[in-house]
Amino acid sequence: MTPSTLFTAGNTPDAPRSDFPDLLQALAADLRSIGYTVDGVAELLGPAAHAALGRDQLIPALIATEAAVNGGTTTAALAAVVRLWLLAEPQPAGTLDAALPGIRTAGLLELGLVEPSAEGLVQAKVDLRPYGWEGTSGEDTVSSGGAELWVASDLAAHQRPGVLRHDHVLGIGQASTTLVQVTARRHVARALDLGTGCGIQTFHLLHHAEHVTATDISERALAFTRFNLMLNAAVLHLDPAEPEARVSLRLGSLLDPVAGQEFDLVVSNPPFVITPRGAGETASDQFTYRDGGLPGDDIVAALVRDLPTVLAPGGTAQLLGNWEIPAGAAWADRPRSWASPDADVWFIQREQVSPEQYAETWLQDASEARDRRLYQDSYAAYLDDFAARNVEAIGFGMIWLRRPAAGARPVISRFEEITYPIEQPVGPHLGAAVERADWLAAHELQSAHLLVADDVTEERHQRPGAEHPGVILLRQGAGLRRTNLLSTELAGFVSACDGELSVGQIIGALDALLGGYEGYDSAAFRQGLLDEVGNLVRDGFLLPA
């Protein structure tokens, strides 16, 4: 590791400044005093306007805050700040001086959070919004204690005119919150946030990791992350005089900044968007927050192949990604080809779209639809790019990887599609699924005693007048909310799982009850039922007593 990759700059051009600790402390105190929190904004706007703001619709919130901003109260101060940073509405300098008396407009200008607009008005240079989460705790989870933060990022497409700048620093979005929700939290010594952006994943990691390394290819992204860390230093348990004691910012592409290092946990919302590459294109022509610069889905393929090399024994990685699905191929064919036989791997495809839908999504994302000629040319480039590789669809989902512990072999290789709604956050349930897979690998199932999980229910369906049900289903109410179709013998097994009898004893009883007829194969019956029971344990329908 060369010292030049360590990012400590507090004054990066065209990014908020993080080298004024007194101003940052004053800003945090002002925002806290006026209730600029997730709940405070929701209460100010009301349910309808707040929901509209979540859909990037600003007008209801502008209407809701218009009267409040002139009230001369704490509510007026909160309304002014909401209008400035969430609604991108220029505000009078005097109004901001009254709303934020500790830092005042002069301090906001010094930090690079606002800039002069019309005479007497200032406008937002960034989006600065409240963000937080509730605390969670449990026997096998890390107590993350909840947090209330403020997060700066570039103004989004609905807050500013024109196409986004190519070095745009993305704020809190659906992908970043999805990764937060799917990450299995556990106490670790060293964690890596690969492609940190404005730092969302790092904030969460700091609540259960002793040290976090955050990387990005963009200097502006690291500058925003550093600003956010310093603004929220108290909540994140950072020493403003020595933040590197707990978090290290590294500049560079993919795994280059951490080559030769090992981590217990890696999380990444990488620039996975599949974007047409043009002749003579340079990095400055790409949207760094989403375009990895490689053709097709090569960036995700490279990460799946290479991430195990920076994992400590027993270390895990969780990331989001896209993958191309060629015509006539199964969706999992390409992801399966990337996976190392020496690593545990679990892909869950959550969505699959056509090339047309994919082009529309990402052209809209960067506001490229505002210029009709550019939109048409870019749309055609997407379709031509996918056609060149015979791509019929594009999948999106989540990826979990693990380097086995020293002396152990991989036990998980799963590629599944789950497109229906699941419980969020699902991270604890994914972690529990891994623990069950490890338990199955380490124990003799025949001698185990099992219980039906608390969230599992059974459904039986039969034709009117029928003597027996034609369909028996097990359903999970939590986690991945799976449904399992049961055979008669498997339904009988599940009904007997009260922890008293072993798996082998229950299977033996069912064998004696249902077998014995001519041509009956007892060994095949027992093994087949044992395999099905293993699947129910793996998926969380049945648990060790």
Residues 39 and 54: their CA atoms lie apart, in Å, by 14
Span 381-400, average pLDDT? 96
pTM of model > 0.85: yes
Residues 520 and 512: their CA atoms lie apart, in Å, by 11
DSSP letters, 468-491, are S-SEEEEEESSTT--EEEPPHHHH
Work out the percent of the chain whose per-residue pLDDT is above 70.
Answer: 93
Residue 526's identity, in one-letter code, is R
Span 149-158, average pLDDT? 94
Question: Top-level CATH class of 443-544?
Answer: alpha beta
63-83 as b/e: b if 16+ CB within 10 A: ebbeebbeeeeebbbbbbbbb
Q: In the structure encoding, which two tokens stand for residue 54, read together?
A: 């979540």
Span 77-84, average pLDDT? 97
Question: So what's the pLDDT on residue 284?
Answer: 58
Span 281-308, average pLDDT? 81
Residue spans of beta strands (DSSP E) within 284-410: 311-326, 344-353, 391-402
Round the average pLDDT of the chain to a whole number and report it: 92
Question: So what's the pLDDT on residue 415?
Answer: 98
* CA count, 13 A, side-chain hemisphere, 451: 6
**Predicted confidence band of residue 281 (pLDDT cuts 50, 70, 90):** low
Question: So what's the pLDDT on residue 283?
Answer: 57
Question: So what's the pLDDT on residue 484?
Answer: 97
Tell whether the model's pLDDT for residue 357 goes beyond 80: yes
- The residues spanned by each domain of the chain are 17-125, 154-439, 443-544
Tell whether the model's pLDDT for residue 61 goes beyond 90: yes
Q: Do domains 154-439 and 443-544 have the same CATH topology?
A: no
**Whole-number CA gyration radius for the chain:** 27
Per-residue pLDDT tens digits for 298-323: 999 999 999 999 999 999 999 999 99
Question: So what's the pLDDT on residue 1?
Answer: 39
Question: So what's the pLDDT on residue 3?
Answer: 41
* Lowest mean pLDDT segment, chosen from 251-255, 360-364, 416-420, 497-501: 360-364
Question: So what's the pLDDT on residue 51?
Answer: 97
Task: Identify which has the larger pLDDT, 282 or 148.
Answer: 148
Span 376-387, average pLDDT? 93
* Lowest mean pLDDT segment, chosen from 69-78, 106-115, 329-338: 69-78
Question: So what's the pLDDT on residue 88?
Answer: 96
Tell whether the model's pLDDT for residue 419 goes beyond 50: yes
**Predicted confidence band of residue 165 (pLDDT cuts 50, 70, 90):** confident
Residues 344 and 336: their CA atoms lie apart, in Å, by 12
User: Are residues 188 and 264 in contact, defined by beta-carbon separation less than 8 angstroms?
Assistant: yes
Question: How far is C-alpha 101 from the geometric centre of its chain's CA atoms?
Answer: 36
Span 500-512, average pLDDT? 97
- Residues contacting 392, CB < 8 A, separation 6+: 325, 326, 327, 328, 329, 354, 355
Tell whether the model's pLDDT for residue 378 goes beyond 70: yes
What CATH number labels 154-439?
3.40.50.150
* Lowest mean pLDDT segment, chosen from 49-53, 66-70, 317-321, 370-374: 370-374
Residues 509 and 48: their CA atoms lie apart, in Å, by 59
Per-residue pLDDT tens digits for 424-451: 999 999 999 999 999 999 999 999 999 9
Query: Three-class SS of residue 84?
Result: helix
Span 355-384, average pLDDT? 84
Residues 294 and 305: their CA atoms lie apart, in Å, by 15
Question: So what's the pLDDT on residue 408?
Answer: 94
